[in-house]
Structure 1
Amino acid sequence: MNNMLAFIWIALTGTFALKNFLFGFALSYFILWLISRGIGSKGDPSRKYFIIVPKVIGFIFYFLYELLKANIQVAYDVITLKNHMAPGIVMIPLDAKTNLEITLLANLISLTPGTLSLDVSDDRSVLYVHGMFIKDKEAFVHSIKNGFERRLLELTR
Structure 2
Amino acid sequence: MKKLYATAKLLALFVKELFISSYAVILHIIRPRLAVRPGIFALETELESDWEITLLSCLICLTPGTLTLDVARDSRTLFIHAMDIGDAGLLSQQIKGSFEKAIMEVTRP
In the superposition, the TM-score normalised over structure 1's length comes to 0.67
Percent pairwise identity: 34
Structure 2 residue identity aligned to 1:94:
T
Contact 2:39 2:81 in 1 (8 A): yes
Structure 2 residue identity aligned to 1:61:
A
Residue in structure 1 matching 2:20, options 66, 69, 87: 69
Superposition CA RMSD, Å: 0.8
SS of structure 1 residue aligned to 2:64: coil
| Per-residue deviation, 1:75 | 0.6
Give runs of aligned pairs for residues 1-157 of structure 1, distance below 5 A.
50-157=1-108
| Per-residue deviation, 1:84 | 2.5
How many pairs were matched up?
Answer: 108
SS of structure 1 residue aligned to 2:68: strand
Instruction: Say which structure is richer in helix.
Output: 1
Please list every run of 5 or more consecutive structure 1 residues that lacks an aligned counterpart in the other structure. Answer: 1-49
Contact 2:66 2:82 in 1 (8 A): yes
Please list every run of 5 or more consecutive structure 2 residues that lacks an aligned counterpart in the other structure. Answer: none
Structure 1 residue identity aligned to 2:9:
G
Which has the larger Rg? 1
Contact 2:70 2:78 in 1 (8 A): yes
| Per-residue deviation, 1:153 | 1.0
Instruction: Say which structure is richer in strand.
Output: 2
Q: Which residue of 2 aligns with 1:47?
A: none
| Per-residue deviation, 1:87 | 0.5
1:103-145 per-residue CA deviation (whole Å, 9 max, x = no partner) reads 0100000000000000011111100000011101111100111
In the superposition, the TM-score normalised over structure 2's length comes to 0.95
